[in-house]
Amino acid sequence: MSDEKEHAFNWIENNKKRIIEISDKIWEFAELGLIEFKSSALLADELEKNGFKVERGIADMPTAFTATWGEGTPIIGIMGEYDALPGLSQKKVPWKEPLEPGKPGHGCGHNIHGTSGMAAAIAVKEAMEKHGIKGTVKFFGCPAEENFSGKVFMVRAGYFSNVDAVISHHPSTMNEASLMSSLAVNSVKFHFYGKASHAGASPEHGRSALDAVELMNVGVNYLREHIIQDARIHYVIEKGGDQPNIVPAYARSWYYVRAPERDQVDFIYNWVLDIAKGAALMTKTEVKTEFIEGCYNLIPNKTIAKLIVKNMREIGLPKYSDEDLKFAEEIAKTITPEMKVAQLKKSKRPGWERLVDKLLDDEVPDPWGEGETSHGSTDVADVSWQAPTVEFSTATWILGTPAHSWQAVAQNGVGIGHKSLIFAAKVMASTVIDLLTNPDILNKAKEEHKQRINGKKYKSPIPPEHKPPIDIWER
């Protein structure tokens, strides 16, 4: 291990208590996307106290920020997220029990995500300062990944335009740096406007906005037969009227349209727009389309993925206490063997069968998934079109744990999650130091990125006039 890395690791070890404290604070805050005011401030303040120059409220988002240390090139970015999910409040116990019923919770581990990146950035800065490493480390505080793709707005505003590479970490059930792509997506709301009337006495005078929503849903469901197999369309009805004896004058649905390539999303999305217009014509209502957000498919990078795996193996996986393992065993009782096997199989990880009888992932596999597409979407994808980008995972949850679940929330706030946090911070710091000090690896990653893009041009999926919907939770 190099002296530079050892210095970074020592800083992380010496500040472990504070790092965990910050992660747990963000876990407690559990703030929704675009309103993560306390979480964002906590991370930004900590970086500022450690010598970083912080720019707050960037890209029209009050909770987005950058924190920069160093000067010149290479410029290596580190990303961190900190938004929670609605309705997932959960105590730090291995059974389902909300802290506050109906309140948000960190079901995707973004309390760890933001903190691991913050810790790695500071550790890298300490090593750069001590050993005279040239270049710049830049932390990107990224809000609203779950709902509104905050990074897409940051990309559009040019904040990733001059980075040489970007590293990110995400909690998961596995220790891996995947080569899979992801689905591009559009998020859109449809507002239908009709005319209220007494549904029993004078229905002929009414024009039902709810009928329009339902007819649109029927049309989209028939559309499914005629789109590519890897595409996904899903929706909720957010507003359907007030009571049965009033013809609904207003109704609203919210759709996601996903596909492996951006142009495939655009094709299906435009078809869905036509179906919405048709539903309005059939019901003599009016429809207004509210575009919420969109993002691209992910561009993987094998050069950096292999570097991350190498660093994971050199650092070594965390050691768990008896208390950690007891908590994990209790969580395991809430996940059926069928659920676990289905999740492992879906990962397409070579040799996944070896993990069926294991509680926690105790391996660091080679990067896998080349040519495969995950059926999730992420705004990390838009960053990956700007520079070589890898978001790796560490085992924060027991095998079989579904993301966006109460089980994940519980594990993100206890010892298993804490150990994953510290391990991830070291992996990230080690990888960033490699990219700062080894131009051959960085140049190889950039050449691979160029080949994977293959001349395609990135065009922001969000219209130039579209602003982040920072008031959306008040509507």
Whole-number pLDDT of residue 147: 84
Distance CA 131, CA 129 (A): 6
What lies within 8 Å, CB to CB, of 151 at 6+ separation is 79, 140, 142, 145, 160, 295, 379, 380, 382, 383
d(CA 254, CA 233) in angstroms, rounded, equals 11
Which residues, other chains included, contact 211 with Cβ-Cβ below 8 Å and sequence gap of 6+? 194, 282, 283, 285
Residues in the chain predicted with pLDDT less than 70, given as ranges, are: 475
Return all residues near 254 (Cβ < 8 A) that are at least 6 apart.
Answer: 187, 188, 189, 190, 235, 236, 238, 292
End-to-end CA distance of the chain: 53
pLDDT of residue 387: 98
Neighbours of 335 (CB within 10 A): 18
In the chain, list all ranges with CATH 3.40.630.10.
3-182+297-453
Give the strands of the sheet with 135-142, arranged side by side: 53-56, 65-71, 135-142, 75-81, 165-172, 389-395
Contacts of 110 (CB under 8 A, 6+ apart): 26, 81, 82, 83, 84, 145, 146
**Phi, psi torsion values for 154, nearest 5 degrees:** -70, -40
| Strands across the sheet containing 250-259 | 232-239, 250-259, 184-193, 286-295
| Residues making up the chain, counted from first to last | 475
Distance between CA 201 and CA 53 in Å, rounded? 67
Nearest C-alpha neighbor of 124 from the set 64, 175, 152, 165: 165
Output the six-digit token pair for 67: 């924190």
Confirm if 215 and 198 have CB atoms less than 8 A apart.
Answer: no
Give strand ranges (E) for 296-404.
389-395
Q: State the pLDDT at residue 265.
A: 97
Q: Which parts of 165-231 are beta strand (E)?
A: 165-172, 184-193
Q: How far apart are CA 454 and CA 460, in angstroms?
A: 18
Entry pTM: 0.93
In terms of DSSP bridges, do strands 389-395 and 165-172 run parallel, antiparallel, or are they unpaired? parallel
Q: Which of 6, 25, 30, 8 is nearest to 146 (CA)?
A: 30
Cα dist from 144 to 31, 61, 278, 337, whole Å: 10, 10, 32, 33
Note whether 21 and 47 are within 8 A (CB).
Answer: no
Whole-number pLDDT of residue 200:
94
Residues of the chain with CATH 3.30.70.360: 186-293
| H/E run at residue 292 | strand 286-295
Phi and psi at 157, nearest 5°, equal: -80, 0
Structure tokens at 315: 């650092």
> How confident is the model at residue 70, as a pLDDT?
97
Domain 186-293: top CATH class: alpha beta
Tell me the one-letter amino acid at 278: G
Q: Domain 3-182+297-453 class?
A: alpha beta
Instruction: Confirm if 156 and 384 have CB atoms less than 8 A apart.
Output: no
In whole angstroms, give the CA distance from residue 305 to residue 445: 10
For 267, the 3-state DSSP assignment is: helix
Cis peptide bond prior to 74, omega within 30° of 0: yes
Compute the distance between CA of residue 401 and CA of residue 407 in angstroms, rounded to an integer: 7
Identify the helix (H) or strand (E) that includes residue 428. helix 415-437
Q: Can you give the C-alpha Rg of the chain in angstroms? A: 23
**pLDDT given at position 391:** 98
